[in-house]
Structure 1
């Protein structure tokens, strides 16, 4: 069942983004198009989840050569989906984060809430926890943390657009690691359940997905 909120989405200074730019090499097919246990695809689920938190318009980060990723239902084919193709192929997720922040800034937003497409159990309630922390200090980076393993999840995070120069630096670095970058930054952490942050990378992960 989808989460429901009685309040309005957060102010337009925050926009949501779904990252789908990975190669899906271990899965053998685009993870965005995998069927979700609640119906629809991983991608449609991720966008619906994001819309519950940040509103109708959602940035969709896509591989450079796959900006025509098929969107199978009317919800996703609407003009409220803003496609953001990567400019540097196969360079890791930092490129998608950087490109989404650029687009957010151009559109007049001050921050971007990001999630990857391959977290089928992440909920809108989880994302709302990040937003509530960010609203108290909107100049700070807010990052999800696996409360069981004590590991940061830099792709489940809110990045203010002020971070653009630093994220561009990550993209141009030899390591291109957001996790490594965060070790040098001030940020706020939000503990989330391990199950919410379980990602699906291979068919074995998919077969073990809870019903």
Structure 2
């Protein structure tokens, strides 16, 4: 069984405000758009976040999404996507593949997600990860979830390794070439021209 997982636990320091709650031109915040993109695949979804505002927003969308939604509040300490992946793998041991997607790829379309699923169907024992033609984008990809991999990842984390790329160097990775424009991350205000002044909060009220 495959489960979709939306990663939304970052601090958005470079953006200066919570990226997951930025308004998207298609309607709703980025978080809602990400959940709806994953829901279009018809698979169960887990939202992984340590932000109560994200979890509350997702809970209100659970019924309209039309697929089972698990809102997972990631406990401290927060140590990046590698620790989040380990927690998701242990939370869903019966799901053979976890499709990871970050909340900060607001241009991503469903077809790219389907391409990753097709690659995973054909290569179930490989890490089918998005590639933009220049480098891997490992926060978007289909990850096998086996007991052996869970143990290997825990051993890796126990050595205080935190880089996702470092662990992936030990794994059978299959790059899946996707449309580069859909894989752009938004990390700074100038990366997101759709967020006009009217949508910006008061400086005093900002995070």
- What's the TM-score, normalizing by structure 2? 0.83
Partner of 2:173: 187
Partner of 2:142: 158
Does the 8 A contact of 1:141 with 1:188 survive in 2? yes
Q: 1:115 to 1:173 in 2, by over 3 A?
A: farther
Name which of 127, 137, 140 aligns with 1:141.
Answer: 127
Report matched runs for 1:113-132 at 5 Å.
113-132=99-118
- Is 2:17 aligned against 1:29? yes
Unaligned runs of 5+ in 1: 1-12
Secondary structure (helix, strand or coil) at the match of 1:71 reads helix
Q: 1:174 to 1:116 in 2, by over 3 A?
A: same
Q: What is the root-mean-square deviation in Å for CA atoms of aligned residues? A: 2.2
Q: For 2:152 and 2:159, how far apart are their aligned partners in 1?
A: 10
Q: For 1:34 and 1:145, how far apart are their aligned partners in 2?
A: 25
How many aligned positions are there? 190
Question: Is the helix fraction higher in 1 or 2?
Answer: 2
Does the 8 A contact of 1:17 with 1:58 survive in 2? yes
Does the 8 A contact of 2:6 with 2:34 survive in 1? yes
Name which of 144, 160, 182 aligns with 1:174.
Answer: 160
Partner of 2:46: 59
Does the 8 A contact of 2:82 with 2:162 survive in 1? yes
TM-superposed deviation, 1:85: 2.2
TM-superposed deviation, 1:184: 2.2
Does the 8 A contact of 2:25 with 2:194 survive in 1? no
- What's the TM-score, normalizing by structure 1? 0.81
TM-superposed deviation, 1:176: 0.8
